[in-house]
């Protein structure tokens, strides 16, 4: 009985409503609808993405597909990735602008921002380039901070 209750709570906690609504536009109908979140954490993305905002080819439904790098990330970064991809579905095409949108949605404290910055820099996270290179995480965060954060938060 306890296991059933625990599983029920876990399933409820992972629904889009509990995690914050993520809406997008169906690419076939133009109608707004909830984004389907697909976990392919056993699969690596060819460009090393953590996740990507896309659409189901058959139905046009907006999706976020999570890949293997997402599965090993800390919870605060997973939250950032989810919000970043939700922001793409809400119309933010530019990577840095999607970061700004995600940061606004999350409302992180100074220590939360510091943890996010440390992870991005240490893991060289950058979704702007096809080729990985050392130091790209630092540049990616610098662009994000200069566009999204006040000087006191950088």
> Is 124 among the domain residues?
yes
- Structural domain boundaries enclosing 110: 19-148
| Residue at 56 is within a domain | yes
Report the first-to-last Cα separation within the chain, whole angstroms: 49
pLDDT in tens, 85-109: 999 999 999 999 999 999 999 999 9
Tell me if 101 is assigned to some domain: yes
**46: confidence class by pLDDT, cuts 50, 70, 90:** confident
pTM attached to this predicted model: 0.81
Residue that wins the pLDDT comparison between 101 and 19: 101
3-state secondary structure 32-65: EEECEEEECCCCCCCCCCCEEEEECCCCCCEEEE
Residue 49 lies in a domain: yes
């Amino acid at each position: 009985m306890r296991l059933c209750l625990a599983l029920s709570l876990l399933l409820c906690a992972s629904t889009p409503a509990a995690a914050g609504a993520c809406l997008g536009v169906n690419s076939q109908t133009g109608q707004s609808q909830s984004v389907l979140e697909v976990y392919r954490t056993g699969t690596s993305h060819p460009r090393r993405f953590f996740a990507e905002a896309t659409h189901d080819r058959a139905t046009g439904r907006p999706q976020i597909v999570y890949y293997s790098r997402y599965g090993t990330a800390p919870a605060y970064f997973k939250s950032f990735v989810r919000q970043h991809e939700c922001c793409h579905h809400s119309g933010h095409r530019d990577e840095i602008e999607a970061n700004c949108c995600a940061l606004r949605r999350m409302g992180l404290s100074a220590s939360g921002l510091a943890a996010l910055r440390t992870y991005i820099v240490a893991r060289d996270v950058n979704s702007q380039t096809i080729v990985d290179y050392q130091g790209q995480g630092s540049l990616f965060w610098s662009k994000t901070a200069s566009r999204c954060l006040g000087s006191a938060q950088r």
